[in-house]
Amino acid sequence: MNFLFVKSQIRVLGVDDGPFSFNDKYTLVVGVVMRGGSYLESVLSTRVSIDGLDSTHSLIEMINNSRYKDQIRTIMIDGIALGGFNVVDIEEIFRKTSIPVITITRDKPDDEKIKVALKKNFADWEKRWGIISKFDLKCIKTKHNPIYVKHVGINDKEAEEIIRISTIRGVLPEPIRVAHLIASGIMRGESYGKA
């Protein structure tokens, strides 16, 4: 897939999880298909187990079963994990959907803190850490604060251009911001928090 000329109406799937407590077994995950950052076309949903290992499979199923799958040009995920430390293997998603994937975080992840938390809480911490550390973290400057991304299936310039096209105001691309608002609104009755 060649993204040399990124169109302003590129269809992007933004993904974020809903709020949860660690007593919960599952959390809601919402995906929104948007054209650029301006037109909402569809809302998808699935669920993942808290601190489980099913986020990659759940996202692949949600995407591959969507009637919009052939139109989606990029998948954006808020962070590298959903439902706590249910780590998303972006390489596997790209391999099974043929759609490039970008993870986006506002704050630079503290790798040492993450590794300590994984070692403390998971017997399979090395597997989870291997997925988290698979791709280099890139810093992308925005009009506001920088954001930190990992991506597969596209180059740095293409990732940066897709993020620019899909960001309306603030730092977060609109597909992720809208997915967050919907997931939060469904789980809490009204959306709130940073989106």
Domain ranges of the chain: 11-188
pLDDT score recorded for residue 3: 47
**In b/e form, how buried is each residue of 69-82, taking b as 16+ CB within 10 angstroms?**
beebbbbbbbbbbb
Plot region of 98 (φ>0 → left; ψ -120 to 50 → alpha; else → beta)? left
Predicted pLDDT of residue 1: 45
Rounded to whole angstroms, the Cα distance separating 86 from 65 reads 21
H-only helix segments in the chain: 55-64, 90-97, 111-121, 125-132, 156-166, 174-188
Residue 189: what pLDDT?
82
Binned average pLDDT, 10 residues per bin, the chain of 195 residues: 63 96 94 91 97 98 97 97 97 98 96 96 97 95 90 95 91 94 89 66
| Residue 194 confidence (pLDDT) | 63
Question: What kind of architecture, by CATH, is found in domain 11-188?
Answer: 2-Layer Sandwich (3.30)
pTM of whole model > 0.75? yes
